[in-house]
Amino acid sequence: MIQATPQTRILVAVEAADFRCGIDGLARLCKQHLKSDPFSGTLYVFCNRRRTAIKVLGYDGNGFWLCHRRLSAGRFRFWPASATEVAQKLAAHEFQLLIMGGDPTSAKVPPAWRPLSLPA
């Protein structure tokens, strides 16, 4: 399983990607379509047209990681849809839910940051 810290920047591509392309093709999509640097350490998440599989592309300073996850049954229920944006940001806990086939928008988790009330 991929470990993503709360500081990890995670972008989910809205449009489906051609899964015949490998690391170089997905890195090109990051630069040209998502307008983002694939060498930045960001995790990029792509899905196929049928939403039965996802690919995660990331750069760790030494090289690229390309992870492929295909569900044995069913489809990924959640996938962002936007007429104006090409990518959507995800938090680390939402990313973990997504790669397990869950829906990050329906997760009941406490906020990442909340103000503390100090006793008087």
CA distance 67 to 95: 13
User: Model confidence over 17-44: pLDDT tens digits?
Assistant: 999 999 999 999 999 999 999 999 999 9
How far is residue 14 CA from its own chain's centroid? 10
Instruction: Report the mean per-residue pLDDT for the chain.
Output: 88
Domain boundaries, the chain: 10-104
Residues 23 and 65: beta-carbon distance below 8 Å: no
CB atoms within 10 A of CB 60: 8
Whole-prediction pTM value? Answer: 0.85
